[in-house]
Amino acid sequence: MLPPYGPDRDHRGDNWEGSVCLILKGRFFARRVNTILQKGEGLCLSTAIGMVLGALHMELPAGDIVQVLIPKRQQSLFSDPAAIIRHALANPIDASLLGELAVPGERICLVVNDITRPTGSEILVPFLVEELNRAGVPDGDITIVFANGLHRPMERQEMEQVIGRELLARLRTVQHHAVTGEFVYRGRTSRGNAVYINREVAAADRVILVGGICLHHLAGYGGGGKSIVPGVARAETILFNHRMVVDSGAAAGSTTGNPVYADLIEACTLVDPDFLCNVILDAEGQITAAVAGHWRTAHAAGCAPVDKLYKVPLAERADLVIAGGGGFPRDIDLRQSKKAYYNAARAVKPGGVIITIAACSRGISREGDPFEDWLRRYWTLAEIRTALVEEFSIGGLSAYRTREVQARARLILISDIDPVRLSVLHVEAYGSHQLQQVIDRVRADLGGNPRIILMPHAALTLPV
């Protein structure tokens, strides 16, 4: 029987990130592995395969693996990210060119994602500022509002990472505070959500949304109107929108019948941004596509390449899914890592097992997040659903997604978080040094030769 944790907890300092790649033992070499990964083929080999996760290693019988689900590769129109962005700006969807839209003397507000959203802003934002300058808008009339939502304010070096040191020095920047900031009431959605927006955004003559489009477990897709809600909205507005997580329509890759998406679209309509430029990143974090134009229709157009990249056909559901957290920052903590096991749950049979490998180097969540408390208080999906309806919190949302997965399958976490701490939260966990032991025991529990699916980049891969 597996112990809940090992006596030698000396792995917390190991520099592993939970990112996953595959290697084959024997006569199969790296070129063959890359071919398999690029094509997303299943592995039907008599040899054993190994999976390397930073400093970690595991072995599996290749014959048990029915499918490897990874993001697809997409050929871009241009190999240079700058050319991709220029092409999008030169061909806006349902909108004028940005240079024609901007009028000298107007106050321009760029709403830009924070550090938690890898969107290539350090490449994208300088192009937008250049276009505005070329149209006669001076730096002094441009303000960047960081769409922190309910996240903590960024440190200066993090802001430099997002927009670059030069722009941070040149432009006025404002960090959004959902609780302590100043807000303007813009109206109410059909669902009753009172929409309060950051005063800086509300006061601008022109609002430009800047970000990236990706799959999102709640709103269907990131980017677009999410720059407004939750990006620059008041806490109460955000919480009202997010409490609809209990609706089955609130799911990744879906906007039809999704109440979270519908509500934020109505909220964004009340603000009516003037322009949008969103990029799409591949699994390696490189810009592979971009869209510009009307905040709603351009975003909708950008969802198509996201689907091509990250929605992966599922041949069959497996007894065991082994999911990689995707590396920093995707597995920075348990709250972010939930995206990996949330996606993996789509690939597992009811009653099966999900092993999620995520470093969680910063623990369970950011300071002040009640995620851990909700896990401690509510152990079943029914309990947490009732509690969320009565009093919603973001921590409760993350806990809900966790219990939702646990209601479908046995969830096991391999991480740097103390397994004893997680056991109190009703989360089964083991140290990284126990990975092979856990896998061997789970395989035995499932009859010795379970059907296995590997999801190296589970946070980015949506089985469909």
Residue 3, pLDDT > 50, answer no
How confident is the model over 318-377, as pLDDT tens digits? 999 999 987 777 788 999 899 999 999 999 999 999 999 998 989 998 777 899 999 999
- Quick one: pLDDT at residue 49? 52
Task: List domains and CATH numbers for the chain.
Answer: 21-69+314-463 (3.90.226.30), 81-309 (3.40.50.11440)
Task: Give the pLDDT mean for 423-429.
Answer: 97
Q: What is the pLDDT of residue 51?
A: 54
User: What is the Cα–Cα distance from 200 to 284, expressed in whole angstroms?
Assistant: 34
Lowest mean pLDDT among 74-78, 134-138, 237-241, 248-252: 74-78
Weakest-pLDDT range from 80-84, 138-142, 150-154: 150-154
Is residue 242 within 8 Å of 234, Cβ to Cβ? no
CA distance 241 to 320: 34
**Lowest mean pLDDT: which of 48-52, 158-162, 298-302?**
48-52
> What is the rounded radius of gyration, in angstroms, for the C-alpha atoms of the chain?
22
Name the percent of the chain lying above pLDDT 70: 88
Percent of the chain predicted with pLDDT > 90: 74
Position 7 scores a pLDDT of 27
pLDDT at 8 over 50: no
Distance separating alpha carbons of residues 134 and 16, to the nearest angstrom: 45
Distances (CA, A) of 370 to 32, 95, 331, 359, 373: 45, 42, 18, 20, 5
The whole-number pLDDT of residue 235 equals: 96
Res 269: pLDDT: 98
User: Considering only 52-61, 268-277, 376-385, which range has the smallest mean pLDDT?
Assistant: 52-61
The band of 191, judged by pLDDT with boundaries at 50, 70 and 90, is: very high
Q: How confident is the model at residue 4 (pLDDT cuts 50, 70, 90)?
A: very low
**Nearby residues of 70 by Cβ (< 8 Å), 6 or more positions away:** 37, 40, 283, 312, 455, 456, 457, 461
- Backbone φ and ψ of 85, nearest 5°: -70, -45
Residue 37 has pLDDT above 50, yes or no: no
Distance CA 163, CA 263 (A): 29
Q: What's the pLDDT tens digit per position in 196-249? A: 999 999 999 999 999 999 999 999 999 999 999 999 999 999 999 999 999 999
- As a whole number of angstroms, the distance between CA 23 and CA 32 comes to 9
**Average pLDDT in the chain:** 88
CB 151 within 8 A of CB 244: no
Query: 43: which 2 tokens?
Result: 């592995």
Sign of CA dihedral 315, 317, 320, 325: positive
pLDDT at 30 over 50: no
pLDDT score of 444 more than 90: yes
pLDDT value, residue 457? 87
pLDDT at 10 over 80: no
Neighbours of 188 (CB within 10 A): 13
Q: What is the pLDDT of residue 317?
A: 98
Per-residue pLDDT, 26:
29
Lowest mean pLDDT of 116-125, 246-255, 296-305, name the range: 116-125
H or E segment and range at residue 57: strand 56-61
**Number of Cβ atoms within 10 Å of the Cβ of 134:** 11
Query: What is the band of 426 on the pLDDT scale with cuts at 50, 70, 90?
Result: very high
Residue 86 has φ and ψ, to the nearest 5°, of: -60, -40
Q: Mean pLDDT across the stretch 114-118?
A: 81
- For 166-179, how does the pLDDT look when each residue is reduced to its tens digit (9 = 90+)? 999 999 999 999 99
pLDDT at position 456 is 86
What are 164's strand-pairing partners? none
Looking at residue 76, its pLDDT comes to 78
285 beta partners: none
